[in-house]
Amino acid sequence: MKKNIVYILFFIGFISIAQQNPVTIEADTTSIRIGEQIQYKISVNELKNVLFSKLQLDSLGMVEVVEDIPVDTLKNRLEKRFLLTSFDSGQYVIPQQTIQINNQKYSTDSLLINVVSVKVDTTKQKMFEIKSIKREPKVFDDYKPLMWWLIPIFILIVLALYLIFRKKVKPLKPKVVIAPIQEAMQRLKELDEKDLVQQNKIKIYYSELTDIVRTYIEKDIKIPALESTTNELVETISDFNESSDLGISKETIKNLSKVLESADLVKFAKSKPIVEEIKGDRSLVEDILNNTQTAVDIKRKEKQAATGENNQTSEAFTNQPVKKKNTWFKYFLIILAIVVIGLGTLGYFGYKYVKQNYIGASTTEMLSKQWYTSSYGNPSITLESPEILEAKSFQLPENVSTVIGDFSLYTYGSLASDFNIAVTTTNFISGVESFDIEAGVEGALAEIEQRINSKITNIKKQPITINGIDGVKVTANFKAENQLVQKKMEYSLTILFFGDTKAMQQVLVAHLAKDKAASEVKERVINSVYINR
């Protein structure tokens, strides 16, 4: 039987073997008047590896912390004290607190606090007139049917404004392309105007002179001239001239070699040519450019004549960016037409049909529609809900089938309203030796965290009794990915948990935390719960 209990704890997370609790609580009083203080103390019979969690107050938020006193270390235990107060009369439950000792969690007992009001002499109290009844404010769901008409109208207005005020795209001006020979000649002219020879800057002069001829060769003949040595360039242009039948004369190639070698002597051997030699090299460069350009033009015209290409077209639009067609506007119009036709056809009555058959009622509509009271599971749970809960099939593991006689799951959910109800009941065949309801609650929360892959926060617990059966009410929050909008949103969670050595019952309600109507629906469901045994 003990082995089966371990299986149940692993499978459902509700059952646990009772053990001695090293954590206790103590209060100097449990009954105060409004504004008075209570000293609330948590004692731990350990000194090392103890972690106190944040103090959890009552679920209604009526009890406040006046002072958080640091941990006090005694001979064989730790003490953590708080000063609490409340300014609203009533009975409030300080829920169980979780303390971690050596990486193991322990829980304290809960504490009931009674806050009484101060009597007021009504004979001296000033009376005021009764205020008139205010109309209930409109909520977002009241305007949903109207949206199905406003959306297409809004889209059409935006489209019309775009067509009226959009800027006309100006045609691109054709890019002016300078031929490589023209660029080279222009650079030669600019080099002459710098007067580098007169300034005795011979090395700079020859560097620019050879760069001009190399740049031209690389751009017009498509030979890697800038990064090649003199010998490599001369050898490459000679081979290319022969293989492509380009028609550059041997004399031109010889002159190119002579100019490049002269430049190398100036740059690397510190040679100092006379002015006549410099002018001669300058003239050779200009002859090299002209002769090479003539050969290139003849070859290019022969190629164009053979292929039928237009020289003017190829030259005028070389390196021009290709203008892409603006097809996005066409696709936008197609999508817009589909949306407008679909929404216009759907209309108000179409929306009601889709909502009723595929989406479900909103939380505002849940409050006004007919509700159903039904019993679910064994032992049964009776509750009131907007729709009858749907039974879900569930296969129990074989290792717990000898202990669990019956396990049932019933759910209701709606993607549009983001509202979910789940009811589970478990019946033990021959009972279990012991049952720890606190461990059962922790197991249920752990199972939910695993299912949603997110941490549950703001956990608050308080004891409840329904039909003479004791249980625990848990309220908490968690973040999970909303299936409708595909992003994480904040949810509110409420669990009613009941269990003993014979049976276990649970009611879970989850909804969007910011949905006020959903909160009202939840309260109506929770308040209608009736536990049967």
pLDDT in tens, 210-241: 888 888 888 888 888 778 888 888 888 888 87
What are residue 24's DSSP bridge partners?
43
Q: Where are the beta strands (DSSP E) in 251-342?
A: none
pLDDT digits (tens, 9 = 90+) for 345-393: 555 445 555 555 545 567 777 888 888 888 888 888 999 988 888 887 6
Place of tokens 């103390």: 41
Handedness of CA 350, 356, 357, 358 (dihedral sign): positive
Backbone phi and psi for residue 70, each to the nearest 5 degrees, phi listed first:
-60, 160
Q: Are 112 and 36 in contact (CB under 8 A)?
A: no
Predicted pLDDT of residue 320: 43
CA distances, 434 to each of 5, 14, 18, 370, 497 (Å): 9, 12, 7, 42, 16
CA distances, 19 to each of 14, 138, 434 (Å): 15, 54, 10
Place of tokens 């460069």: 285
Amino acid at 88: D
Which residues make Cβ contacts (< 8 Å) with residue 477, sequence separation at least 6? 456, 457, 458, 490, 491, 492, 493, 513
User: Which residues of the chain are modeled with pLDDT < 70?
Assistant: 1-20, 119-148, 164-176, 308-334, 336-337, 340-361, 393-402, 414-417, 430-432, 482-486
Predicted pLDDT of residue 244: 78
Q: What is the mean pLDDT of the chain?
A: 77
Predicted pLDDT of residue 122: 59
Predicted pLDDT of residue 473: 94
- Percent of the chain beyond pLDDT 90? 8
pTM: 0.38
C-alpha–C-alpha distance, residues 412 and 388, integer Å: 8
CA distances, 214 to each of 20, 260, 340, 402 (Å): 92, 10, 63, 92
Predicted pLDDT of residue 383: 92
